[in-house]
Amino acid sequence: MGRIVATIDIQNLSASGESMKLDALVDTGASYLTLPLAWKDRLGQFDSEETVELQTATQEVVIGTVCGPVKIKIEGFRGIYNEVLFLEMKPNNGEYEPLLGYIVLEQCGAAVDMIGHRLLPVKYMDVK
């Protein structure tokens, strides 16, 4: 199976207004835009922070922090307003791998092209 990586701009909409640009692995098994907890301070203080329990692909229950509001812009797609999840991650070869989950993909109108290993715009958004 191929890997799809998307370039994303994230802006904290609170008073701190911090932002960052990063590459994230498209993971349709993840729900949120998930970043390493080690990066949380880069985006400053958030208006809202909530601790949540999450279940990993290996069925392990872990604790994460959902923060917002943020503006998320996947390169080539419209920007959306949402939250970001910070999770304790282990770097691989010294680098973290953020995950781009299905909620953000759906909101910005991106579909996963598994054959072409890319994101494509959805022609119509659902209202049903």
Residue 2 confidence (pLDDT) above 90: no
pLDDT digits (tens, 9 = 90+) for 58-95: 999 999 999 999 999 999 999 999 999 999 999 999 99
Q: Which of 70, 65, 72 is nearest to 22 (CA)?
A: 72
Q: Which amino acid is at 55?
A: Q
Q: Flag whether pLDDT at 1 surpasses 60.
A: no
Q: What pTM did the predictor assign?
A: 0.92
Q: Which CATH class is domain 5-121?
A: mainly beta
The residues spanned by each domain of the chain are 5-121
Residue-wise pLDDT tens digits, 21-61: 999 999 999 999 999 999 999 999 999 999 999 998 899 99
Contacts of 17 (CB under 8 A, 6+ apart): 11, 44
